[in-house]
Amino acid sequence: MNQPPIRWAILGVGQAGQRRAAAIQTDIDAELVAVWRGRFAKGVGVPVTDSAEDAIGLADAVYVCTPLDLHAAQVELALSAGRHVVTEYPLATSHAEAADLFRLAADRGVVLHVGHIELLSGVARTLTAHVRATDVRHAELYFSSSGPVIPGAELAVRNVARLHRLLAVVGSVARVGRVDVSPGEMLAELELESGRKANIAFRQGPGLPRHTILEIKTFRSRWRQVDRSLELDGTMTTVLDPGSVFESDHRFAMRRIRNGSPSYVTDERILEVLQLAEALSLGRTGPL
3-state SS record for 27-66: CCCEEEEEEECCCCHHHCCCCECCCHHHHHHCCCEEEECC
CB 74 within 8 A of CB 56: no
Nearest-CA neighbor of 120 among 19, 231, 5? Answer: 19
Question: Domains in the chain and their CATH numbers?
Answer: 6-115 (3.40.50.720), 119-242+273-287 (3.30.360.10)
- pLDDT per residue, tens digit, the chain (288 aa), is 578 999 999 999 999 999 999 999 999 999 999 999 999 999 999 999 999 999 999 999 999 999 999 999 999 999 999 999 999 999 999 999 999 999 999 999 999 999 999 999 999 999 999 999 999 999 999 999 999 999 999 999 999 999 999 999 999 999 999 999 999 999 999 999 999 999 999 999 999 999 999 999 999 999 999 999 999 999 999 999 989 999 999 999 999 999 999 999 999 999 999 999 999 999 999 999
CB 33 within 8 A of CB 9: yes
Q: How far is CA 130 from CA 61, 126, 134, 193, 245, in A?
A: 35, 6, 12, 19, 20
Question: The pTM is what?
Answer: 0.94
3-class secondary-structure state, position 172: coil
Q: Which residues contact 96 (CB under 8 A, 6 or more apart)?
A: none
